[in-house]
Structure 1
């Protein structure tokens, strides 16, 4: 099973949940998950017993986020199309043009490197590594989402706006 299928199954992403997740509010508020989670992990010694309930709330927020918003009236925007592109990647992988493969490999490699850097920074309480890893993760994820828009537009034969 590919990682994307595993993640979709783990987050119980039904058709209804995917439709709600195409709401731009869901996409943009999801950006809050990583910084909040990292802050919780960074201050784990200070939070002491509050660490575990706070961590549970943040994990719950990560799971609830795609479910919290209503289905949007239209998906003619970058955020919505990034989610629709993720669905194409997960469920219609064979239909994606080959020219995306190398870029997706680079993005996956960057996500792996920045995750390792961020985890090491958190483990050793090293702020430069943690912040560099976090910033790299956010930028690489944004690049990934932008690529998903491209994939979605190709899959639906929508023109790319190169502005």
Structure 2
């Protein structure tokens, strides 16, 4: 599962500079728009025909641009920044025995999120609104829960670094 996350990090070209900017809570919160925008862009094929490809390309561009658009934050003392920092820690140290107690939950949330995405894609392919919305809801709620887990990872890692 961590390999999957690492692969998405590589596909996005997330270097140190992009991560510094992505920690900005504006980046994290605005990133939540991606899946709903993607669903609308795909669904728009029924309204605008082949022009939907332009809408889908715009969403993909937004996906890539988002972590690069915002300045590094003045403070990371907020839930979203801590979640993004936790993601980075998880990607770098998921094999760390000190973080092992998170692995089962992280794995379950990634599987649940992936299952929701598959349901959403089936709903989009079949133009089935209940399937699309259900899949989107499961995916987004799983992602938010995973982000909350990453806040926990960050907090534990930060506590381990802080001298007592």
Q: Corresponding residue for 1:135?
A: 137
Q: How many residues align?
A: 158
RMSD across aligned C-alpha pairs, in angstroms?
Answer: 1.4
Pairs within 5 Å for 1:37-56: 37-56=38-57
Aligned twin of 1:2 = 3
Alpha-carbon separation, structure 2, partners of 1:108 and 1:49: 32
1:17 matched to which residue of 2? Answer: 18
CA-CA distance at 1:49 after TM superposition: 2.8
* TM-score in terms of structure 2 length: 0.91
Note the residue ranges of structure 1 that are not aligned, 5 or more in a row: 159-163
Partner secondary structure for residue 17 of structure 2: helix
Match of 2:84 in 1: 83
Structure richer in helix, relative to its length: 2
Cα shift readout 1:85-144 (whole Å, capped 9, x = no counterpart): 111111112225221112112202211221121111111111111101101111000000
| Segments ≥4 residues shifted beyond 3 Å | none
CA–CA distance in 2 between the matches of 1:108 and 1:9? 18
What's the counterpart of residue 118 of structure 2? 116
How high is the TM-score relative to the length of structure 1? 0.92
Contact kept, 8 Å, 2:82 with 2:151, in 1: the verdict is yes
